């Protein structure tokens, strides 16, 4: 169960950062806060949920086999949390913006970003980017970047498609980017976050 939980966290974190990471290409002013429905499809496997974003952080609410999870990244405090709702517990993991490449592997740090055009997607003006990976079998990641939100609202990487729908602009409460009140912080001795659990 511990391995499943960790893998799910990495998957959700990777999806959340993939939506936010292209902002590093632009770094233009303050992004607009918003909420959206989130769907990630990978070779037939589907994860759906809610996505919240603001200059303070990002939050992804989802579920696996009916068990709800919340993934939170707080930019101001350089922390991320995996919240297990049914157990009312959370795991805290230090996060630095430069760590994004470790989760995303490799976009955008190990790719060459190339803008290929402008389109309208879900009624929003977006820029279409290719994150090119020379020598990689899966080729480039295609990203539809919303410059107003400073976030990708869709990305395609082979059979993996990540997108946001029903986007609603507006201020998001600060408490969304903190662990829920009354939950217990878990201690996970022997955990190697990038390599799994130690013995």
Q: Which pair of structure tokens corresponds to residue 162?
A: 């990540």
State the pLDDT at residue 104: 34
State the pLDDT at residue 18: 53
* Residue 72's CATH number: 2.50.20.10
DSSP H or E segment with residue 15: helix 2-20
Supply the range of the domain harboring residue 158: 2-197
How many domains in the chain? 1
Q: Which pair of structure tokens corresponds to residue 12?
A: 């959700």
State the pLDDT at residue 193: 42
Using CA atoms, how far apart are residues 76 and 97, in angstroms rounded to an integer? 10
Global pTM reads 0.76
Q: Which pair of structure tokens corresponds to residue 74?
A: 């707080």
Give the number of other CB atoms < 10 A from CB of residue 94.
10
Reading the chain (199 residues) residue by residue, the pLDDT tens digits are: 333 344 444 455 555 655 555 444 444 556 789 999 989 888 888 888 999 988 888 899 988 777 888 989 888 888 889 898 999 999 888 776 665 443 333 355 667 788 899 999 999 999 998 888 776 656 788 889 888 888 888 988 888 898 999 999 999 999 999 999 999 998 765 444 434 333 3
Q: Which pair of structure tokens corresponds to residue 1?
A: 């169960």
């Amino acid at each position: 169960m511990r391995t499943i939980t960790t893998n799910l966290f990495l998957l959700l974190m990777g999806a959340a950062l993939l939506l936010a990471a292209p902002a590093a290409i632009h770094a233009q002013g303050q992004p607009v806060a918003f909420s959206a429905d989130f769907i990630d499809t990978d070779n037939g496997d589907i994860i759906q949920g809610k996505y919240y974003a603001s200059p303070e952080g990002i939050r992804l609410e989802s579920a696996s086999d009916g068990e709800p999870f919340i993934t939170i990244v707080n930019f101001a405090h350089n922390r991320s949390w995996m919240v297990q709702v049914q157990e009312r517990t959370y795991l805290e993991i230090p996060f630095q913006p430069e760590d994004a490449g470790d989760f995303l592997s490799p976009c955008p740090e190990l790719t060459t970003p190339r803008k290929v055009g402008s389109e309208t997607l879900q009624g929003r003006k977006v820029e279409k980017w290719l994150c090119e990976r020379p020598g990689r079998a899966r080729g480039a990641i295609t990203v539809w970047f919303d410059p107003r939100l400073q976030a990708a609202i869709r990305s395609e990487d082979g059979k993996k498609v990540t997108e946001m729908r029903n986007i609603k602009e507006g201020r998001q409460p600060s408490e969304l980017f903190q662990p829920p009140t009354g939950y217990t912080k878990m201690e996970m001795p022997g955990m190697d976050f990038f390599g799994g659990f130690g013995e």
